[in-house]
Chains A and B, each alone.
Chain A
């Protein structure tokens, strides 16, 4: 059998919908799920005589993303028309950016399962307007909904630097977190805010000779799962095809395939990529955008520490687990809240536990952000300190957290009111321990004899103390007294 090795090579095109209030070139609202053709005007309908006006916010969001992707941001960028006929594109050209995109030559670090990161090159990221939607119902016609027409999209093109479905997925997930962190996109997959088009082929080495399979582009994937699986499926399919037919890169053009989510396979869409001629030329209705240093600095000032960097810092600096650090940095408001609580003197691990175990449970139930709970980072820091110095137990902390959210009051007051302050007074606890020991001679004997029953008997005695103190005894102090009395 021949000696055969192969490597998957994947580059991605990603469309990210920016979360501006209005569309890219008109004042219409960007709104998901509105009644068809209700969020339209002469401009996004491409009516005769209408003219586009650039949404400055969209441009600034795109520059923020470009900066976060470590791209070079040219001071001069322009708009081009990309021509093709399709019913969901009312002008029959799309306003996009061709040879002078607003950002280029960057990279993104993605986390690998090994805990290492990998750098994936970004060729460019540019702004363009989205098309509408063709609705195919039964019958001898189609309908067109133009609500989405003109929605600002950031198109990001990566270098073919990814070598597995898992890496492609990691990039997609990391990018989602990044744009959410920046606040430039909601990146809601269900609403189609992120759409992926992987370009996939294989580098095969057989008997010392290297072959490359023809590139396949899988169109319009809108879930991480479909993205990862389509890449893995396609790799296997290309390998099989190569072994069967020997077809290699350069024999015929790039083909386009779609993903069948039910059958979990890619299906051929276009055998030979039609020789598309988009006839790009500069849009004469829009003026080029010339950034000033002042403007660029202002946009830069809105950037923040990026999520992956923050996550790594939490692990290194605060010794949090990678998992916990990931949860805290999943969105910017949680991470900011955490940072503020640490600044207010909270012990990182305790604050982390309070936020991940209680805070985020509440936000998930309420489907809101941590800021919507109307509690201050300082109060959570104080709560953490109360656990840290044993004023309250870890389990009471959860109850107090919930009470803080309900009442908006401070944790120390709530601890008093709810009778959750632990008894740590050794003298007081000692007399209770004495009482328990006197009442339970059998258990005491089990402990002192040191047999099989010792552990259970200790637990029983501790439980009795807790019962008498209504659970408020500091277990650490009780353990110490018990150890002193009965060894």
Chain B
């Protein structure tokens, strides 16, 4: 069962060949075995999951119609609100916070008959690139447990890589799905901003945050996107389907991409490790052999993406995180002398270093007298980067580049050097600034047997085509079949 994809498992459950109850039991056996090493989960819901699985099984044996994820064990990142269990954002300030409502994506998973088995670890409030900023626990990379899984959705990607769930939902503000997906050798899709409802996703950088699937295959990513995509009247920034209709991403997946034109940005890629560049070049060769045309383009403003991102994201975060004040919910300091101390002490005690750093950066950027120089300037850069992509997509169907400059790095290697850590997002951030979709798919290994990812970026609301382009590669390679040795594979 462990070698099944989510899609295959779903089909076998729906056809009665496999019981969802067995699939869930099997997953919890694996979690009990590997979780002590991997540390992917902040919470799991065994009882609830088993109960739900048998409900789905009952539906199937009664011949009732079932959803697209019928009986499939899935995990969600712990920054999506659930009425069951806590929603912690891996922060001490929300350690005991129980949300009174389900995020829209959680409702959609449940409506598709998925079995939510647990909530995965992350960098605190999704701020980080290694999951080392979790305030609650450490997650390691299943391919090499001395290394980070990437971040901030490191728990989700490690869980999928180690076979501790069949698929997961992550969130991506500056690369938080794609970068850990590449570090863990799984597929990670960040949809177009507005494609998936953010309602119930605890906000980090509201204009950048987007929920997306973490899966074993491109097909599974299409399946998950089918379930979670669409307009939500509770999220004003989710796009109306009159403007950008959703489609059946699974059915479309096998449609060929005619006259595929791929752009690469040589000057930009040169910053990546040689082995990462080699893997990228090999991948592009595969496309070339499949008949794609490769062109070289310039994207002059990408160099400023990180700077713009760390102004915009932190500015929004400084405001979004203001609500964690110890007054209404979450951690409150003991014995405050006055209400100001409720704020200052509660926040000082419960936020981690990186969260504090970003709140301070953002507060500074929005301060009177600095707004124009920082925030407004960053918005202008953001527009230039959008323009770079608009120009690029006039000449090509997609842009390909590395996901990250390196493969998974050692735990502790960058924690004391925030700027180095920020540079891990250099290739992923631009998609968030431009609001376009991006996917990371496995495209080989470096000399340390660590996975390398290929990033594909396409125009807004062309997830169907993006998935088809990614699927072409997957069909002609077998990287996705490789599993990390630790988790009982091989």
- Known contacts A81-B319, A281-B375; is-contact A51 B235 (Cβ 8 Å): yes
Q: Is A160 an interface residue (CB 8 A)?
A: no
CA distance A42 to B103 in the complex (A): 11
Q: Is B276 an interface residue (CB 8 A)?
A: no
**Which of A42, A47, A81, A277 lies at the interface centre, i.e. has the most chain B CB atoms within 10 A of its CB?**
A47
Q: Is B58 an interface residue (CB 8 A)?
A: no
CA distance A281 to B323 in the complex (A): 16
**Which of B97, B235, B319, B368 lies at the interface centre, i.e. has the most chain A CB atoms within 10 A of its CB?**
B319
CA distance A52 to B205 in the complex (A): 15
Contact, CB under 8 Å: B323 / A48: yes
Q: Which of B100, B323, B363 makes the CB contact (< 8 A) with A46?
A: B323
- Within 410-449 of A, Cβ neighbours of B (below 8 Å) are at none
Q: Is A285 an interface residue (CB 8 A)?
A: yes
CA distance A46 to B100 in the complex (A): 12
Contact, CB under 8 Å: A42 / B100: yes
Q: Which of A49, A279, A280, A287 makes the CB contact (< 8 A) with B363?
A: A279
Pick from B39-47, B193-201, B419-427 the stretch touching chain A: B193-201
Contact, CB under 8 Å: B368 / A277: yes
- Known contacts A279-B363, A281-B375, A284-B316; is-contact A51 B234 (Cβ 8 Å): yes
Q: Which of A46, A52, A53, A285 makes the CB contact (< 8 A) with B328?
A: A46
Contact, CB under 8 Å: A92 / B325: yes
Contact, CB under 8 Å: A49 / B202: yes
Contact, CB under 8 Å: B327 / A87: yes
Residues of A within 8 A of B325 (CB): 85, 92
CA distance A93 to B324 in the complex (A): 12
Contact, CB under 8 Å: B202 / A281: no
Residues of B within 8 A of A42 (CB): 99-101
Mask of B311-330 contacts with A, CB within 8 angstroms, 1/0: 00001101100110101110
Q: Is B222 an interface residue (CB 8 A)?
A: no
- Known contacts A93-B319, A287-B237; is-contact A279 B89 (Cβ 8 Å): no
Residues of A within 8 A of B233 (CB): 53
Q: Is B87 an interface residue (CB 8 A)?
A: yes
Q: Which of A48, A87, A144, A281 makes the CB contact (< 8 A) with B319?
A: A281
Contact, CB under 8 Å: B366 / A279: yes
Closest residue of chain A to B239 (Cβ to Cβ) is A287
Closest residue of chain A to B375 (Cβ to Cβ) is A281
Q: Closest CB-CB distance, A325 to chain B, in whole Å?
A: 45
CA distance A93 to B206 in the complex (A): 15
Q: Is B203 an interface residue (CB 8 A)?
A: yes
CA distance A144 to B339 in the complex (A): 12
Closest residue of chain B to A92 (Cβ to Cβ) is B322
Closest residue of chain B to A277 (Cβ to Cβ) is B368
What is the total number of residues of chain A having a CB less than 8 Å from a CB of chain B?
Answer: 29
Q: Closest CB-CB distance, A86 to chain B, in whole Å?
A: 9
Q: Is B126 an interface residue (CB 8 A)?
A: no
Q: Is A45 an interface residue (CB 8 A)?
A: yes
Residues of B within 8 A of A285 (CB): 203, 206, 236-237
Contact, CB under 8 Å: B87 / A48: yes
Q: Closest CB-CB distance, B374 to chain A, in whole Å?
A: 11
CA distance A52 to B237 in the complex (A): 10
Q: Is A358 an interface residue (CB 8 A)?
A: no
Main secondary structure of the interface of A (DSSP, over half): loop
Q: Which of B100, B323, B367, B368 makes the CB contact (< 8 A) with A91?
A: B323
Contact, CB under 8 Å: A277 / B367: yes
Q: Is B94 an interface residue (CB 8 A)?
A: yes
Q: Is B207 an interface residue (CB 8 A)?
A: yes
Main secondary structure of the interface of B (DSSP, over half): loop
Closest residue of chain B to A48 (Cβ to Cβ) is B202
CA distance A45 to B101 in the complex (A): 12
Q: Closest CB-CB distance, B438 to chain A, in whole Å?
A: 20
Contact, CB under 8 Å: A284 / B207: yes
- Known contacts A48-B87, A91-B323; is-contact A284 B206 (Cβ 8 Å): yes
- Within 211-262 of A, Cβ neighbours of B (below 8 Å) are at none
Residues of A within 8 A of B97 (CB): 48
CA distance A279 to B200 in the complex (A): 25
CA distance A281 to B87 in the complex (A): 28
Q: Is A286 an interface residue (CB 8 A)?
A: yes
Mask of A78-104 contacts with B, CB within 8 angstroms, 1/0: 000101010100111100000000000
**Which of A53, A83, A285 lies at the interface centre, i.e. has the most chain B CB atoms within 10 A of its CB?**
A285
Closest residue of chain A to B343 (Cβ to Cβ) is A85
Closest residue of chain B to A88 (Cβ to Cβ) is B327
Q: Is A50 an interface residue (CB 8 A)?
A: yes
CA distance A48 to B366 in the complex (A): 22
Q: Is A320 an interface residue (CB 8 A)?
A: no
Contact, CB under 8 Å: A49 / B99: yes
Q: Is B81 an interface residue (CB 8 A)?
A: yes
Q: Which of A51, A87, A92, A93 makes the CB contact (< 8 A) with B199?
A: A51
CA distance A144 to B234 in the complex (A): 26
- Within 323-381 of B, Cβ neighbours of A (below 8 Å) are at 323, 325, 327-329, 339, 343, 363, 366-368, 371, 375
Contact, CB under 8 Å: B81 / A90: no
Residues of B within 8 A of A360 (CB): none
- Within 180-222 of B, Cβ neighbours of A (below 8 Å) are at 198-203, 205-207
Contact, CB under 8 Å: A93 / B322: yes
Q: Is A466 an interface residue (CB 8 A)?
A: no
Q: Is A394 an interface residue (CB 8 A)?
A: no
CA distance A142 to B339 in the complex (A): 9
Q: Closest CB-CB distance, B355 to chain A, in whole Å?
A: 14
CA distance A93 to B321 in the complex (A): 10
Q: Is B50 an interface residue (CB 8 A)?
A: no
Contact, CB under 8 Å: B198 / A51: yes
Q: Which of A47, A53, A144, A281 makes the CB contact (< 8 A) with B100?
A: A47
CA distance A92 to B326 in the complex (A): 12
Q: Closest CB-CB distance, A307 to chain B, in whole Å?
A: 36
Contact, CB under 8 Å: B89 / A48: yes
Q: Closest CB-CB distance, A149 to chain B, in whole Å?
A: 11
Mask of B62-83 contacts with A, CB within 8 angstroms, 1/0: 0000000000000000011100
Contact, CB under 8 Å: A49 / B319: no
Contact, CB under 8 Å: B328 / A45: yes
Contact, CB under 8 Å: A279 / B367: yes
Residues of A within 8 A of B339 (CB): 87, 142
Residues of A within 8 A of B375 (CB): 281
Closest residue of chain B to A82 (Cβ to Cβ) is B319
Q: Which of B80, B207, B236 makes the CB contact (< 8 A) with A53?
A: B236
Q: Which of B81, B316, B318, B367 makes the CB contact (< 8 A) with A49?
A: B81
Contact, CB under 8 Å: A52 / B81: no
Residues of B within 8 A of A92 (CB): 322-323, 325
- Within 269-327 of B, Cβ neighbours of A (below 8 Å) are at 315-316, 318-319, 322-323, 325, 327
Contact, CB under 8 Å: B322 / A85: yes
Q: Is A54 an interface residue (CB 8 A)?
A: yes
Residues of A within 8 A of B101 (CB): 42, 47, 50
Closest residue of chain A to B102 (Cβ to Cβ) is A49
Residues of A within 8 A of B323 (CB): 46, 48, 90-92
* Contact sample, A vs B, 11 pairs, CB 8 Å cutoff: A42-B101, A47-B100, A48-B87, A50-B199, A51-B234, A81-B319, A144-B327, A281-B315, A281-B319, A281-B375, A285-B236
Q: 14 extra interchain contacts, Cβ-Cβ under 8 A, other than A93-B322, A281-B375, A285-B236?
A: A45-B328, A47-B99, A48-B89, A49-B198, A49-B200, A51-B199, A53-B236, A83-B319, A144-B327, A280-B366, A281-B316, A284-B206, A284-B316, A285-B206
Closest 6 CB pairs of A and B: A92-B322, A284-B207, A284-B206, A279-B366, A48-B202, A49-B200
